[in-house]
Amino acid sequence: MPPARPAVLRLAGPLIISFWLRQAFSWVDMAYATALEGAEDASIAAIGLAGPFEFMLIACWVGMSNGLTSRLSAAMGSKRGEEIEQLKRATHLVALGLMVAFLAVAAGIWFLTPLLDLDATVSHQFRVYGSVLIGGMGLTAFWSILPDSLVKAHHDTRSTMWAGLYSSFANVALNSLFVFVFHWGIFGIAFSTALSRLAGLFYAQARAARHERARVEAWTDPVPGRLARPIGSIMTIAIPAAITFLLIAAEGFAINGILVSSGNQEANLAAWSIFDRAVRFMTMPPIAIGVAMLPLAAKLYGTGDFAAIRREVRVALIASLAYSLLIVVPTSLWAWGWVTEALAESKAAQLAADAGRLYIPVAVLLSSPLFILRSTFEGLQRPRPGLVTAFIRTALVIALIAAGIALLKADGGDPIHGVYAGFVAGLGISSAILYVWIDRALKHCASA
């Protein structure tokens, strides 16, 4: 009798813990930024300005990880040992190229920041934090793509969770050392975040090596076969996934640019930085469910069980709705004031950040279908709908935020409300489009 099919929520469990721990990096940086006396809001604003660059790095990491995990899983399923070794070598080359690229980005941040129209303190903090964070993570983060993908291909999601846990603990310890003992300021905060990635990397490498030794010993009759273009085979899957996240980074660049020229620069940038990190952190469970949906939907697609895919999608969306209502809403209502007071220094920044209280659960709820349904489409071997919707989301969010700020300024209102309202409206419209798209696609597949 074949083993029971794993449900999407059971697959997502360890990933939720792992993703939450990794996203905690951003909160750790903000928490320690409040210890930089005289530059608290400027440091938080600098962290927000660096966010899109960090998202660019994450986009490349996630895209490569998705592509490599998919190819490794397929090769393991068919016992193609030579192909696995090809993919490993190809990943080292790509990781080296990405490292060089983001070192160049870090250099650009350092040399070009003085040319931007930023407050002097914000400019200095961003110049140091952005260049050190992106350069440091460029040196450390991309080498974890291979071991992380290997443990996922071996279905060891718990090792992913533990790698995130070790990196989180290392980040806290190094931040405390660099900020309170060495007094390295914003440099120490960025450096600790980059350096802490090594803890998770070393653990993942050890686990991946153990799995690979066991695989080689167990495969007494591997199937011969080589890829003609190993890098190209990874990129066919990696590029669409990376573009989706790069569009979110572009969205972040645009929002920061709008806020820089909207008045009350330091307070609004700090407020948006806090809000953005909160939404990202609270959206980790839906993102993890989406990651779990991809292999599950792909397996069901291979068997032609589209009714089961519809059931899993329904379970995933209901779980995200319940999470938003039962966890995110109470957290936003009861804890948000404490978070804004703890992270923002000035009263203006606190008020601007506190205005996002009611928008956070709405943003989490409306963004959840984007992550879950995009992964479902990728499982159906159709990345195009998710990519098209990502373009729509970015265009809508930027346009609606600009319109919201303009309307509130004309009426004498606080422009930060225009930012929050435009953001959630863009998420809602694009999620509705993708939901209609997946519903029609699954009905068509079931009737074909």
Numbers of helices and strands, H then E, in the chain: 16, 0
pLDDT at 263: 66
Burial category of 210 from C-beta neighbours within 10 Å (exposed 0-12, middle 13-18, buried 19 and up): middle
* Amino acid code (one letter) for 349: A
* Amino acid code (one letter) for 26: S
Tokens of 230: 């190993």
Q: Model pTM?
A: 0.76
pLDDT at 448: 65
pLDDT at 396: 95
323: helix, strand or coil: helix
Q: Which of 282, 297, 267, 259 is nearest to 373 (CA)?
A: 297
Residue 271 CA, distance from chain mean position = 20
C-alpha torsion 82→88→91→95, nearest 10? -160
Residues 6+ apart with CB under 8 A from 60: 98, 101, 102, 142, 242
Residue 277's region, left for phi above 0, alpha for psi from -120 to 50, else beta, is alpha
Distances in Å between the alpha carbon of 290 and those of 187, 317, 337, 446? Answer: 35, 10, 30, 22
Distances in Å between the alpha carbon of 70 and those of 193, 208, 237, 365, 369? Answer: 28, 16, 8, 28, 22
Tokens of 324: 């938003």
- Spatial distance between the Cα atoms of 392 and 427, rounded to a whole number of angstroms: 10
Contact 193, 152 (CB under 8 A): no
- Phi/psi for 3 (5° steps) reads -65, 155
**pLDDT digits over 182-209, tens only?**
999 999 999 999 999 999 999 999 999 9
Contact 407, 322 (CB under 8 A): no
So where are the chain's domains?
A: 34-243, 262-448
pLDDT at 26: 60
- Crossing angle of helices 284-303 and 306-323, in 10° steps, is 170
Q: Show the low-confidence residues of the chain (pLDDT under 70).
A: 1-6, 24-26, 262-263, 299, 302, 448
- Spatial distance between the Cα atoms of 438 and 386, rounded to a whole number of angstroms: 10
DSSP calls for 388-420: HHHHHHHHHHHHHHHHHHHHHHHTT--HHHHHH
